[in-house]
């Protein structure tokens, strides 16, 4: 790719960016204009992809971590032959356009993930790089290498200031992810002004300390950038950071280098002068250089030849490795390789749902070879131990990942694993620490990818660790996230069903909310409860006649509700609510069958009651932080007791 072609592509990116943002009267021109030459080099020479097969499993991944610069990505995808049209670009940031304000996964091929929340793209790219090593270890053979892609990420000053990038970079260095190459758009500008206002650290030294290769180059010296990429590929056993000195808004005659180009249109006059300086007629809108168009038209044929060669290799691999090929196909379909042998439990057996979850996880691991994951340094307490040597820099075949004390980074990395569309990740911590990982969980839900979150120590019953570790508002806050299924099982049997439901879900994440304390395996009056529970709730204790009262409870409070019904003469039905939001989505006739036609409703849960108010205002819950002490005593002190529930029953 010669310099003239690179410049033609870069000018096209700048023109499309300026005009799209000006037309929308909204957007961020600074980054796309400042990085246009890098984009030309990547999509015109470096990246391995096929626009006609955008989900090719061995494509290189490119993540625009600085997602506000979305026109950078849309312009290049358009030029490279992906399905983004010029009309789509003209409708930038408008309803229905795949060219959303920030890149959104699923809106258009070539958008590898949803970015915009700074730092998360960088962290998720670490997960993508881990995925490549895992897939290579599982499926490559001596004769055929079918997974050997690189993961590239473009990050800015904002990304590298966010803590999640540091968490992920630290782990990436430890794991020696040599096929991860990050570009740092070092323009030293943020929204408020120069980065010197708040960011004067030596990024190169920081990443060197993490165990990365660090190179310095000029954003506009593409020969030097390409040379560093080749060095990273041929001589490195570490991830690589290439720090590129750049000019934000490059090409804007009076505004380049200013924070004013970061997040606002340049204005008609500035755009016209910019085009004049590029030798383009100032009244030409959405200009595309003919040389850029012809280059990518020819380059697309070269990329297709590369893909065809790989496809032939893949077909030969399938013929010679039928079992591996079948396993890969099942993984892509989200199916197990064999029927899982789920654990069985005896009636009245006392077992914590986290422990039951650990047993279910072992059954799942045995049947889903693509199931991988781990804990944020809480493997024992989360009951997420799985057999075999853990994943490491030396053992890419390992399925257990030690994430370290990095909840946010862990969840973002899990997103990267899930985006492979082959691996199925789980990650684990205490429920209260879902606060740390919530932004990445939100992206799991926004992208509709099936990450499984194992969240244990689910209530004040965890006891002595006190209010810092006792979740109160967390169930309600998680239930508020669209596309997230929150499952809080009442006993070991429900826990197994929760794992089945989580593994069956392919269009969004699932959170398993699990107890630290032992709970009895409960008798269930609904003989078809394993099917009924898919509605989110089922009748665990029925009445011989139409109930006067129905108690809705989840988790450990189902046992408490059952105890309370033994002490009243009223006709009280108990409904175990595994997933409140799933139940609320059911048609009214189904809800009525489960709740009763005219029963008064009482809800009981050892957490904030707000999520139950859609069904009833009569809720036994907790509206304050907890206390340090033995779990049962803390719960009683906070009002979660048989006596208080019984008082509610008698009062309605």
Positions annotated as catalytic residues are: 407
In whole angstroms, give the CA distance from residue 305 to residue 233.
22
What Rg value do the Cα atoms of the chain yield, rounded?
27
The DSSP letter of residue 432 is: G
Cα–chain center distance at 275? 40
Quick one: three-class SS letters along 530-584? Answer: HHHHHHCEEEEECCCCCCCEEEEECCCHHHHHHHHHCCCCCCEEEEEECCHHHHH
| Closest of 185, 191, 252 to residue 220, by C-alpha | 185
Strand 572-577 to 537-541 pairing: antiparallel
Q: What's the angle, vertex CA 183, arms to CA 271 and CA 373, rounded to 5?
A: 125
| Closest of 306, 315, 303 to residue 144, by C-alpha | 315
DSSP-derived secondary structure for 474-487: HHHHHHTSTTPEEE
Q: What's the angle, vertex CA 487, arms to CA 603 and CA 335, rounded to 5?
A: 155
CB under 8 Å to 249, separation ≥6 — which residues? 29, 30, 33, 34, 255, 256, 257, 258, 260, 261, 262, 266
CB under 8 Å to 453, separation ≥6 — which residues? 411, 426, 427, 428, 434, 437, 441, 509, 510, 511, 512
In whole angstroms, give the CA distance from residue 316 to residue 322.
10
The length of the chain in residues reads 652
Half-sphere exposure of 67 (CA within 13 A, CB side): 22
In whole angstroms, give the CA distance from residue 502 to residue 371.
12
Whether the CB-CB separation of 301 and 328 falls below 8 Å is answered with: no
Quick one: three-class SS letters along 218-261? Answer: ECCCHHHHHHHHHHHHHHCCCCEEEEEECCCCCCCCCCCCCHHH
Quick one: three-class SS letters along 132-198? Answer: HHHHHHHHCCCCCCCCCCCEEEEEEHHHHHCHHHHHHHHHHHHHCCCCEEEEEEECCEECCEEHHHC
CB under 8 Å to 643, separation ≥6 — which residues? none
The 3-state DSSP class for residue 612 equals helix
Strand 400-402 to 424-430 pairing: unpaired
- In 370-509 the beta strands, taken as DSSP E runs, fall at 371-375, 400-402, 424-430, 452-456, 485-487
């Amino acid at each position: 790719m010669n310099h003239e072609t690179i410049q033609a592509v870069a000018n096209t990116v700048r023109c499309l960016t300026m005009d799209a943002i000006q037309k929308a009267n909204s957007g961020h021109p600074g980054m796309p204009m400042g990085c246009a030459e890098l984009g030309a080099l990547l999509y015109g020479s470096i990246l391995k992809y096929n626009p006609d097969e955008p989900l090719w499993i061995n494509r290189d991944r490119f993540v625009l971590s600085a997602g506000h610069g979305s026109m950078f990505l849309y312009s290049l995808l358009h030029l490279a032959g992906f399905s983004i049209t010029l009309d789509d670009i003209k409708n930038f940031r408008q309803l229905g356009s795949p060219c959303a304000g920030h890149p959104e996964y699923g809106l258009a091929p070539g958008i590898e993930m949803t970015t915009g929340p700074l730092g998360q793209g960088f962290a998720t790219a670490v997960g993508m790089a881990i995925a490549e090593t895992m897939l290579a270890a599982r499926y490559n053979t001596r004769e055929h290498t079918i997974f050997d892609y690189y993961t590239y990420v473009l990050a800015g000053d904002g990304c590298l200031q966010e803590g999640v990038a540091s968490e992920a970079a630290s782990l990436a260095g430890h794991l020696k992810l040599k096929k991860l190459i990050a570009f740092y758009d070092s323009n030293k500008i943020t929204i408020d002004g120069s980065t010197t206002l708040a960011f004067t650290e030596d990024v190169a030294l920081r990443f060197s300390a993490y165990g990365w290769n660090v190179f310095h180059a000029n954003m506009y010296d593409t020969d030097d950038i390409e040379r560093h990429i080749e060095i990273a590929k041929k001589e490195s056993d570490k991830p690589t950071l290439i720090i590129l000195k750049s000019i934000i808004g490059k090409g804007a005659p009076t505004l380049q280098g200013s924070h004013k180009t970061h997040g606002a249109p340049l204005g008609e006059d500035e755009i016209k002068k910019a085009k004049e300086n590029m030798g383009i007629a100032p009244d030409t809108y959405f200009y595309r250089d003919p040389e850029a168009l012809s280059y990518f038209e020819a380059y697309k044929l070269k990329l297709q030849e590369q893909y065809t060669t790989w496809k032939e290799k893949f077909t030969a691999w399938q013929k010679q490795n039928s079992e591996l090929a079948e396993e890969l196909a099942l993984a892509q379909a989200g199916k197990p390789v064999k029927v899982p042998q789920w654990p069985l439990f005896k009636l009245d057996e006392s077992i914590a749902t986290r422990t039951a979850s650990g047993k279910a996880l072992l059954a799942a691991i045995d049947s889903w070879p693509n199931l991988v994951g781990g804990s944020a340094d809480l493997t024992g307490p989360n009951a997420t131990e799985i057999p075999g040597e853990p994943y490491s820099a030396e053992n890419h075949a390992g399925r257990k990942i030690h994430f370290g004390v990095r909840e946010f980074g862990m969840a973002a990395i899990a997103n990267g694993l899930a985006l492979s569309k082959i691996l199925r990740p789980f990650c684990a911590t205490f429920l209260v620490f879902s606060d740390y990982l919530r932004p990445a969980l939100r992206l799991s839900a926004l992208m509709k990818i099936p990450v499984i979150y194992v969240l244990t120590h689910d209530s004040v019953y965890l006891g002595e660790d006190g209010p810092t570790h006792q979740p109160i508002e967390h169930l309600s806050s998680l239930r508020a996230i669209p596309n997230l299924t929150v499952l809080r099982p009442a006993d070991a049997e429900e826990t197994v069903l929760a794992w089945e439901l989580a593994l069956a879900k392919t269009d969004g994440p699932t959170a398993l909310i699990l107890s630290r304390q032992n709970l009895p395996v409960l008798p269930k009056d609904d003989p078809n409860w394993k099917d009924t529970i898919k509605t989110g709730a089922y009748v665990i204790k029925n009445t011989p006649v139409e109930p006067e009262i129905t108690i809705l409870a989840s988790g450990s409070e189902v046992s408490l509700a059952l105890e309370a019904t033994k002490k009243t003469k009223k006709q009280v039905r108990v409904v175990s609510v595994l997933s409140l939001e799933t139940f609320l989505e059911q048609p009214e006739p189904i809800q009525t069958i489960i709740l009763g036609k005219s029963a008064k409703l009482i809800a009981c849960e050892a957490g904030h009651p707000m999520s139950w108010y859609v069904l009833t205002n009569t809720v036994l819950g907790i509206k304050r932080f907890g206390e340090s002490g033995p779990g049962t005593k803390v719960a009683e002190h906070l009002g979660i007791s048989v006596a208080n529930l019984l008082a509610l029953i008698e009062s309605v």
